[in-house]
Amino acid sequence: MSAQYTLGLDYGTNSVRTLVVNTANGKEVATAVWGYEHGTAGVILARDPNLARQHPADYVKGAEVAIKKALADAKKHVRGFKPEQVIGIGVDTTGSTPLPVDKVLQDYFAANICCVEKWFNVISPKQSSLERLKRRIAVLAKKDWQKILGT
Q: How many domains does the chain have?
A: 1
pTM value surpassing 0.75: no
pLDDT tens, position by position, 38-66: 887 777 777 776 677 777 788 888 899 99
Residue 7: count other Cβ atoms within 10 Å of its Cβ.
21
Local structure of 50: helix, strand or coil: coil
Q: How confident is the model at residue 67 (pLDDT cuts 50, 70, 90)?
A: very high
Top pLDDT among 22 and 57 is at 22
Q: Nearest to residue 15, comparing CAs of 50, 76, 65, 52?
A: 65
Instruction: Tell me if 97 is assigned to some domain.
Output: yes
Instruction: Tell me if 24 is assigned to some domain.
Output: yes
Do residues 132 and 50 lie in contact, with contact meaning Cβ atoms separated by under 8 Å?
Answer: no
Instruction: Tell me if 25 is assigned to some domain.
Output: yes
Instruction: Tell me if 145 is assigned to some domain.
Output: no
What is the span of the domain harbouring residue 120? 5-125
CATH code where residue 21 lies: 3.30.420.40
- Amino acid residing at 6: T
Instruction: Tell me if 144 is assigned to some domain.
Output: no
